[in-house]
Chain A
Amino acid sequence: MDGNEMNIQPTRNKPESRDAQGTIDPITLEVIRYGLISTTNQIDANIKRTAFSPYIYEYNDFAVGMTDIDGRLVAQCTGGMPPFVADSVGTAVRDGLKIYGLDRLHYGDVVVCNHAAVQGQHLNNTVMYTPIAEHADGSGRLIGFFAINVHWIDIGGTMNNSHDIFMEGLQLRSVKMWSKGEPIEEVYRIIENNSRLPTELMGDIQAQLAGCFLGRDLIANLVEKYGTATFERAIEIILDQAEAAARQHIRNLPDGEYVHETWLDNDGVGDTPIPIKVKVIIKDDEITVDYTGIAEQAKGSINSGYHGGGLTTARVAFRYLVAPDEPANEGLFRPLKLILPMGKIVSADPTAPMANYPMPFPTIIDAVIKALEKALPERVTGGHFATHSGFRLFGRRANGRPFNGHDSGHGGWGACYNHDGAGPFRTMAHGDTRLIPIELQERLVPFRVESIALRPDSGGAGKFRGGLGFEKRYRILEDCQLQTNLDRTNHPAWGVLGGKEARPGNVLVIDEKTGTKTQKNKAHGEPIAAGSIVILETGGGGGYGPPAERDVALVQRDLDEGYITAEGAKKDYGVTVDDKGRVTRGA
């Protein structure tokens, strides 16, 4: 461990004179601000249109951003995956600046970086960036970088559990793919020959490259239109205004220290609970997230680096709670401080296995939210089911052709101060990620879905009830293997402010011949015989406020709609249900 993550902080490349205070017309400022976000959104649309892999156009597993010449995040596209908002692109740019120095980075260079010591996430997440010059023709000095982070579909590495990062594929630490406008064919050859899916990968890289160049030119057009001095002054003001907005929100919150502790079931390899203890300190106009109490680096591949794990989860929680409507930039996160010793699961050594790095993220983000239940009663929500619930059936068909069916669990989200929890959705580490239609799955994978249904009583009770998980039953038609990754069964989604906890999820395999049921929440290639039934149940979300305060009409509605059972109504809400299904509270 060389502590590299800690050193990747912005250094100032910009001469002081260019930072001079100056006034700028507020309307020009707004037009530039809009132009920056609009450019990143245009490139976002362009990548979705031209990318090959479904990670990009269906999972939105990418982010588009622009940094200034110091690698500070200035603007980022508004969509994308939550774990990317935390400035994944700026981190990579700053490593490149450290390695090359600004004098060795030129217009027409393209640099890629997926290194564990830099981004600290699984190696698929690869940032590509190119310098922006003052003029669209490349003349003038450099004024920033246009950067795109894309999940590369395959970069080699083991398909099973890894023991260290070196088993997970090709690492590229700030490597130039283009130099002064010319591609470096050797680097292309290295990448192409270290992937199981070279066609798709090279297609995605082409889309990423085209996006970088187009973004660079669009930003340069903006700079030309308003002049470099005005543009750079506008950036300073945009960052300062985002910071001021965040500080103003925080100043309205009550000062104090807030703590929550929970546990993951295990790291996927061992069977020891993984402690997730977070402390949040609100003081004046700053928030400090203290991860000192979080688990040490794990053997299983659920680790992430300081930047890619610790800072990322803190920033995602910050954005959820404090500033959901502010565009992400470096200024927004200035009032957020992090206390995080090295060597934790979210500040792991760069050699640690990280293939499954986001696994703890939903729980950590949710724990920060839970800690603040008394401080932000109208922002927080009950816990969500908070597990990726990965579910994969793979094997070979009778005719020898391989199949590989990825599915995933979607669970309930927590209730909030004015409505019941929603869902089923994917986790807080996901965004606009859509489940795969059954009509398509049945064509591709040898199973038949017998039912998919909401799970009554799975949401935590409360004044507002948590969202429901679902139950999906698969009839397996050919022998295959099962891989699952479902956690949070021992400590399911909690309630907030008196709300009750939800039911956890579960994977059950029912053998057709013997009828025996076995739980398989963390299966690693478990053989499943044709004819068996596999049941994927997902957890619900936690409730908000005491169940006794729930409007009896809502209990009646939930019973009528089948969101709760009569038994659940009695047990969770202390109501009586007569033989006609009428709910009454009290004697």
Chain B
Amino acid sequence: MSYAVAVDIGGTFTDLVGYDRETRRVVYTKSATTYGNFVDGILDCFVKADLTPEQAQYLNHGTTLVINSFIQRRGAKAALVTTEGFRDILEIARANRPDPFDLHYQRDPPLIPRSLRFEVPERVDTFGEVLAPLDLDALDRLAEQLRAQKVEAVAIFFINSFANSAHETQAAERLREKLPGVYITCSTDLTREWYEFERTSTVAANAYVGPQVNTYIRRLEDDMKSRGFDGTLFMMGSNGGLLSVDRTCRQPVGLVESGPIGGCIGAGAYAEELGFKNVVAFDMGGTTAKCALVEDGRFNVESIYYAGGYVHGFPIKSPVIDIVEVGSGGGSVAWLDSQNRLHVGPRSAGSTPGPVCYGRGGTEATVTDANLVLGRLNADRFLGGELKLDTAGAERAIRKLAEPLGYSGEEGMLRLADGILSLATVTMAGAIRQVSVEHGLDPRDFMLFSYGGGGPLHGAALARELSVPTVVIPPAPGNFSAVGMLLADARIDLSKTFTGILTQDAIGPVQDAFEALEAEAAASLRKEFGAREIMFERHAEMRYLGQRHNIKVPVGSGGDLATIRKAFERDYKRRYGHSDSENPAELQALHLSAFARQQRPDLSGLPLISKSGAAPASRHVYFKEKGGFVDAAVYERSALPPGFAAAGPALIEEYGSTTLVGPFDRFEIGPLYEIRIHCDAQ
């Protein structure tokens, strides 16, 4: 029982990474995701990896179950119980149209239909004073009705409960008593910040996925136990930390971005270990590319997330790593519009039919097809040779686009393939610039940390577009999300609305409020993780008096008035370019993050190293800057030791991905076996 195991269940593959703390042995496997019972896919991975469930001490698990349930609308029959007069908040939402020129715009329908939204008399004012008590008789009658309608889950939201949660708690207790077996959840168990629509939407979402997540996790635990697993199961929270099974069952919305965050955690851990201050974590997969900023080893956590996207989806008030997603992946389709303008994405050929070169019926040229015809992918060794690629088919599809644009022959086909990659690059660079600009940062001050199936192939071109000097490719980039899950800390984020002017008088109450949040988080971490050493981070949302826009400022523990004020002015200046030492500052909300470091593997033990020492081969690769095909050295990654350095052009191949080094770049292998590409360094 010495293995830490991480399992990432994606749409196509289930990835497993296991690390033996005693022997420092590491295993990576992939297996097809098994719909119906995901545990089968996990067990397949165990078998392929030559591991047994008994050997696992910890099982860290990330899943796309929650987000898929929202998008495919496969959740429970849920009801909403709310204050008299407010059942339509969920449907009226914020009444905005994020896509101003879509005359036919409509938001996705609410998760709970109007006929299942019920009202009971009660009222609290904005300061938490009770104006009307909760009508328990009305609630009891309602419970009968909910039972008769065979409701599986109940969300409770009362107006102004952020200021006084007593009625919600009371209602939840009463309904649990009256409706055994029904999943009951209330808004103040999930968020204590104000704004009624966001709070209602959050608790409705929690009720919607509650029964399904509970069933899934309990079944996973039971099935794994019946196969001999005797360790502890942890879930990957969207905040980038591990969550206990109990907490996940109470707060399943905390898993909404459970899938893609592994990579961000990994990027943060590598950046910290290697002493990199600022890193852009960049993950390019089959359908999309995702990026996140990591500063000083910490990623930014937002307290709101839009499930299904900001344009059509709904908000969840839950801490989620700030990840920006853009529709450029290996499967992104290249196409011409009515004016013969070339576009790449956002539509993707996905994994079925997939790129033309997969030979599964795809007919439209994709980014992967362009990479193949330019010699960047090895047709015979894709996914370790599991999938043989059809180069002729890819060329035909690209020619179909090239001819209407006046690019003829072989040369024209190659120019167009290169153009597809250029457009994909500018699209992804735009996303990275946007996330940087929004935080007042310059991407040129960052290092690009590139992983996922496509990240290593596109990282150097992207870095050049952004004028980023260095690209870092971690070991096992194709499994990096699962690797990141092995490296996660236990983490709990709590926040509450707290309004007042920042004066000496406010410091006491602020400290008291933080201490209460810390006590609550610490008690949970001790109970759920047996944590002994707990670290806290405090942030306050602040602004100048009279403004409407808050900034989130780190306020160290025990911060006095002067320190908090100084931190506010410093961050304010970074954001706005100036600050004002006279104007009073206002507090709006307090955020607390609590961490307990888990025993995690030594990063230098993670790479797979072969001693084969195979001599490098070479291959023709197209580079526009060289005017065509040139010979590029092809390396087997597992044969390259730390300290190895060479000039591009080069391809570094491994299972699941290929790293491309440009003709004017240099690369070296770093101490953790990471590849470092120095762009235009020759």
Choose one: A49, A321, A435; the contact of B438 (CB below 8 Å): A49
Choose one: B91, B102, B440, B548; the contact of A324 (CB below 8 Å): B102
4 further A-B contacts with Cβ under 8 Å, apart from A27-B342, A34-B426, are: A49-B440, A52-B549, A419-B104, A437-B195
Chain B residues with Cβ below 8 Å from A434 are 94-96
Q: Are B85 and A451 in contact (CB under 8 A)?
A: yes
Chain A residues with Cβ below 8 Å from B341 are 26, 29-30, 33, 241
Chain A residues with Cβ below 8 Å from B58 are none
Asked whether B396 is an interface residue with its Cβ less than 8 Å from the other chain, the reply is no
Asked whether A292 is an interface residue with its Cβ less than 8 Å from the other chain, the reply is no
Q: Are B159 and A82 in contact (CB under 8 A)?
A: no
Asked whether B561 is an interface residue with its Cβ less than 8 Å from the other chain, the reply is no
Find the B residue at minimum CB distance from A477.
B125
Asked whether B628 is an interface residue with its Cβ less than 8 Å from the other chain, the reply is no
Chain A residues with Cβ below 8 Å from B549 are 51-52, 54, 57
Chain A residues with Cβ below 8 Å from B106 are 419, 422
Chain B residues with Cβ below 8 Å from A584 are none
Interface bits A225-248 vs B (CB < 8 Å: 1, else 0): 000000000000000010011001
Q: Are B338 and A248 in contact (CB under 8 A)?
A: yes
Find the A residue at minimum CB distance from B339.
A241
Choose one: B86, B87, B162, B575; the contact of A50 (CB below 8 Å): B575
Asked whether B126 is an interface residue with its Cβ less than 8 Å from the other chain, the reply is yes
Stretch binding the partner chain, chosen from B13-21, B35-43, B267-275, B415-423:
B415-423
The distance from the CB of A209 to the nearest CB of chain B, in whole angstroms, is 10
Chain B residues with Cβ below 8 Å from A561 are 113-115
Given contacts A422-B106, A451-B84, A452-B92, contact A54 B194 (CB under 8 A): no
Chain B residues with Cβ below 8 Å from A453 are 85, 87-88
Q: Are A562 and B115 in contact (CB under 8 A)?
A: yes
Stretch binding the partner chain, chosen from A1-9, A165-173, A442-450, A478-486:
A442-450
Asked whether A570 is an interface residue with its Cβ less than 8 Å from the other chain, the reply is no
Asked whether A210 is an interface residue with its Cβ less than 8 Å from the other chain, the reply is yes
Asked whether A381 is an interface residue with its Cβ less than 8 Å from the other chain, the reply is yes
Interface bits A200-215 vs B (CB < 8 Å: 1, else 0): 1001001100100000
Q: Are B577 and A50 in contact (CB under 8 A)?
A: yes
Chain A residues with Cβ below 8 Å from B114 are 454, 561-563
Choose one: A26, A48, A206, A454; the contact of B577 (CB below 8 Å): A206
Q: How long is the Cα–Cα vector from A381 to B101 in the complex, in angstroms?
A: 13
Q: Are B125 and A38 in contact (CB under 8 A)?
A: no
Q: Are A454 and B100 in contact (CB under 8 A)?
A: no
Q: Are A27 and B423 in contact (CB under 8 A)?
A: yes
Asked whether A187 is an interface residue with its Cβ less than 8 Å from the other chain, the reply is no
Asked whether A122 is an interface residue with its Cβ less than 8 Å from the other chain, the reply is no
Find the B residue at minimum CB distance from A414.
B103
Bin chain B's interface residue count.
35 or more
Q: 10 tightest A-B contacts by CB? A: A451-B85, A431-B100, A27-B419, A410-B95, A422-B106, A434-B94, A442-B126, A439-B194, A38-B430, A54-B548
Asked whether B197 is an interface residue with its Cβ less than 8 Å from the other chain, the reply is yes
Q: How long is the Cα–Cα vector from A419 to B107 in the complex, in angstroms?
A: 12
Q: How long is the Cα–Cα vector from A58 to B547 in the complex, in angstroms?
A: 12
Chain A residues with Cβ below 8 Å from B418 are 27
Chain B residues with Cβ below 8 Å from A416 are 103-104
Find the A residue at minimum CB distance from B434.
A45
What are 14 A-B contacts defined by CB distance under 8 Å?
A26-B342, A26-B407, A27-B422, A34-B426, A48-B438, A248-B339, A410-B95, A432-B98, A434-B94, A438-B196, A439-B160, A439-B194, A440-B195, A443-B499
Interface bits A413-424 vs B (CB < 8 Å: 1, else 0): 000100100111
Q: Is the interface of B mostly helix, strand, loop or mixed?
A: loop
Interface bits B110-142 vs A (CB < 8 Å: 1, else 0): 000111000000000111000100000000000
Q: How long is the Cα–Cα vector from A426 to B105 in the complex, in angstroms?
A: 12
Q: How long is the Cα–Cα vector from A81 to B160 in the complex, in angstroms?
A: 32
Asked whether A433 is an interface residue with its Cβ less than 8 Å from the other chain, the reply is yes
Q: Are A425 and B96 in contact (CB under 8 A)?
A: yes
Q: How long is the Cα–Cα vector from A26 to B98 in the complex, in angstroms?
A: 32
Q: How long is the Cα–Cα vector from A551 to B406 in the complex, in angstroms?
A: 51
Interface bits A116-156 vs B (CB < 8 Å: 1, else 0): 00000000000000000000000000000000000000000
Asked whether A178 is an interface residue with its Cβ less than 8 Å from the other chain, the reply is no
Asked whether A470 is an interface residue with its Cβ less than 8 Å from the other chain, the reply is yes
Q: Are B100 and A82 in contact (CB under 8 A)?
A: yes
Find the B residue at minimum CB distance from A52.
B547
Choose one: B94, B127, B426, B577; the contact of A31 (CB below 8 Å): B426
The distance from the CB of B407 to the nearest CB of chain A, in whole angstroms, is 8
Asked whether B298 is an interface residue with its Cβ less than 8 Å from the other chain, the reply is no
Q: Are B197 and A437 in contact (CB under 8 A)?
A: yes
Chain A residues with Cβ below 8 Å from B415 are 27
Asked whether A258 is an interface residue with its Cβ less than 8 Å from the other chain, the reply is no
Bin chain A's interface residue count.
35 or more
Asked whether B25 is an interface residue with its Cβ less than 8 Å from the other chain, the reply is no
The distance from the CB of A222 to the nearest CB of chain B, in whole angstroms, is 11
A residues with a Cβ closer than 8 A to B are: 26-27, 29-31, 33-35, 38, 41-42, 45-46, 48-54, 57-58, 79-82, 85, 199-200, 203, 206-207, 210, 241, 244-245, 248, 319-321, 324, 369, 379, 381, 410, 416, 419, 422-426, 430-435, 437-440, 442-443, 448-454, 470, 473, 560-563
Chain B residues with Cβ below 8 Å from A58 are 548
Choose one: B91, B107, B125; the contact of A442 (CB below 8 Å): B125
Q: How long is the Cα–Cα vector from A191 to B85 in the complex, in angstroms?
A: 46
Given contacts A38-B430, A439-B196, A561-B114, contact A430 B89 (CB under 8 A): no
B residues with a Cβ closer than 8 A to A are: 84-89, 91-92, 94-98, 100-107, 113-115, 125-127, 131, 159-160, 162, 194-198, 337-343, 405-407, 415-416, 418-419, 422-423, 426-427, 430, 433-434, 437-440, 499, 546-549, 575-578, 583
The distance from the CB of B403 to the nearest CB of chain A, in whole angstroms, is 12
Find the B residue at minimum CB distance from A436.
B94
Q: Are B195 and A439 in contact (CB under 8 A)?
A: yes
Given contacts A241-B339, A437-B195, A437-B197, contact A454 B86 (CB under 8 A): no
Q: How long is the Cα–Cα vector from A449 to B578 in the complex, in angstroms?
A: 39
Chain A residues with Cβ below 8 Å from B343 are 30
Chain B residues with Cβ below 8 Å from A207 are 576
Q: Are B162 and A439 in contact (CB under 8 A)?
A: yes
The distance from the CB of B327 to the nearest CB of chain A, in whole angstroms, is 13
Q: Are B575 and A49 in contact (CB under 8 A)?
A: yes
Q: How long is the Cα–Cα vector from A54 to B550 in the complex, in angstroms?
A: 11
Chain B residues with Cβ below 8 Å from A432 are 96-98, 100
Find the B residue at minimum CB distance from A424.
B95
Q: Are B88 and A319 in contact (CB under 8 A)?
A: no
Q: How long is the Cα–Cα vector from A41 to B94 in the complex, in angstroms?
A: 23
Chain A residues with Cβ below 8 Å from B339 are 241, 244-245, 248
Choose one: A57, A319, A452; the contact of B89 (CB below 8 Å): A452
Chain B residues with Cβ below 8 Å from A203 are 576
Chain B residues with Cβ below 8 Å from A50 are 575-577
Chain B residues with Cβ below 8 Å from A320 are 101, 103
Choose one: A30, A80, A424, A439; the contact of B92 (CB below 8 Å): A424
Given contacts A27-B422, A241-B339, A379-B103, contact A38 B96 (CB under 8 A): no
Find the A residue at minimum CB distance from B84.
A451
Chain B residues with Cβ below 8 Å from A473 are 85
Q: How long is the Cα–Cα vector from A449 to B85 in the complex, in angstroms?
A: 9
Q: How long is the Cα–Cα vector from A251 to B435 in the complex, in angstroms?
A: 41
The distance from the CB of B248 to the nearest CB of chain A, in whole angstroms, is 28
Q: Are B105 and A422 in contact (CB under 8 A)?
A: yes
Given contacts A425-B95, A432-B100, A450-B85, contact A440 B437 (CB under 8 A): no
Q: Are A245 and B195 in contact (CB under 8 A)?
A: no
Q: Are A79 and B100 in contact (CB under 8 A)?
A: yes
The distance from the CB of A345 to the nearest CB of chain B, in whole angstroms, is 23
The distance from the CB of B281 to the nearest CB of chain A, in whole angstroms, is 19
Chain A residues with Cβ below 8 Å from B88 are 452-454, 470
Chain A residues with Cβ below 8 Å from B337 are 245
The distance from the CB of B132 to the nearest CB of chain A, in whole angstroms, is 11
Chain B residues with Cβ below 8 Å from A45 are 434, 437-438
Q: Are A30 and B342 in contact (CB under 8 A)?
A: yes
